[in-house]
Amino acid sequence: MNILKDRVVLVTGGSRGIGAGIVKTMADQGAKVAFTYRSSSVKADELIASLDVEEGRVKSYQSDASDAEQSEALVKQVLSDFGTIHVLVNNAGITRDTLMLRMNESQWDDVIRNNLTSVFHMTKQVLRPMMKNRQGSIINLSSVVGMMGNAGQANYAASKAGILGFTKSIAKELGSRNVRCNAIAPGFIETEMTDDLKNKEDYLQNIPMKRFGSVEEIAAVVLFLASDLSSYVNGQVISVCGGMNT
């Protein structure tokens, strides 16, 4: 299938984990994909090499979405390389987990800047080409933690909850231009991050499906929101959590 044939998709934080799964699914479905990484290009190069696509159809860019100037330069370069942007997936994010009593201002600021301010920067930069095309889909990766809260993650929960309010506001601002904005709230997903979790069995007790989700299951929902299959879906939050947030 080529659900996204010739669509141009920009994914932040696309070199590993959920981001890499999204890049792979988008490319497999016919999209031209631009994705970012923060530091080492090794993972990005490995991802591109693993894809069965023609040269130049998937490109990586070193860029920090939390920085306004880098975000602007990135979007200009992607527009130069691909001509337009049909879909933005705001996936980049970090954690700095600790109890509130121990949390310092730097740990708070780092998470808010990387998880929430980055969404502002990237969304702002893609609006003009999307409005010009009168077509666009902005997909923001939030978290069930942003809906439920979690001890030791006040900074992360605040950043992910902020994404939800941002998503609904942008949906109302741009719906008349046929630019949609939706959010995905993953639960526990099998990635390098969850590999380090202690007491996994305790977490599984709170998940009705009794398992963690896969990267591919998140990417499938991104595919739905990126495609015309969701052409009347706007301002929504889709939880992909095995029923944990029910």
Rounded to the nearest integer, the mean pLDDT of the chain is 96
Q: Is the pLDDT of residue 73 over 90?
A: yes
Greater confidence, 143 or 197? 143
Instruction: Flag whether 220 is marked binding.
Output: no
Question: What's the distance, CA 231 to chain centroid?
Answer: 19
> How many CA atoms does the CB half-sphere of 157 hold within 13 Å?
14
The rounded distance, in Å, linking the Cα atoms of 219 and 20 is 9
Token pair recorded at residue 239: 């939880």
Average pLDDT (88-102) is: 97
Give the pLDDT of residue 196.
66
Exposure string over 130-142, b if 16+ CB within 10 A, otherwise e: beeeebbbbbbbb
14 is in an annotated binding site: yes
Instruction: State the Cα angle at 224 between 220 and 227, rounded to 5°.
Output: 130
Q: Say if strands 32-37 and 179-186 run parallel, antiparallel, or are unpaired.
A: unpaired
Name the maximum alpha-carbon separation found in the chain: 52
Q: Which parts of the chain fold into alpha helices (H)?
A: 17-28, 42-50, 68-82, 105-112, 118-133, 145-148, 154-174, 192-195, 200-204, 215-226
160 assigned to a ligand binding site: yes
Question: In the prediction, which pLDDT does 224 show?
Answer: 98
203 annotated binding-site participant? no
Find the distance separating the first CA and the last CA of the chain, reported in whole Å. Answer: 32
Q: Which CATH architecture best describes the domain 8-240?
A: 3-Layer(aba) Sandwich (3.40)
Identify whether the C-beta of residue 141 lies closer than 8 Å to the C-beta of residue 238. Answer: no
pLDDT tens-digit series, residues 164-197: 999 999 999 999 999 999 999 999 999 876 776 6
Angle between helix 118-133 and helix 68-82 axes, rounded to 10 deg: 30
Tokens of 175: 């719906």
- Clarify whether 232 is annotated catalytic: no
In order of 14, 60, 100, 125, the CA distances from 48 in angstroms are 11, 8, 40, 25
* 159 marked among binding-site residues: yes
Q: Which of 61, 156, 203, 232 is catalytic?
A: 156
Confidence at 35, pLDDT banded by 50, 70, 90: very high
Residue 80 CA neighbour count, 13 Å, CB half:
7
Cβ pair 96, 153 in contact under 8 A: no
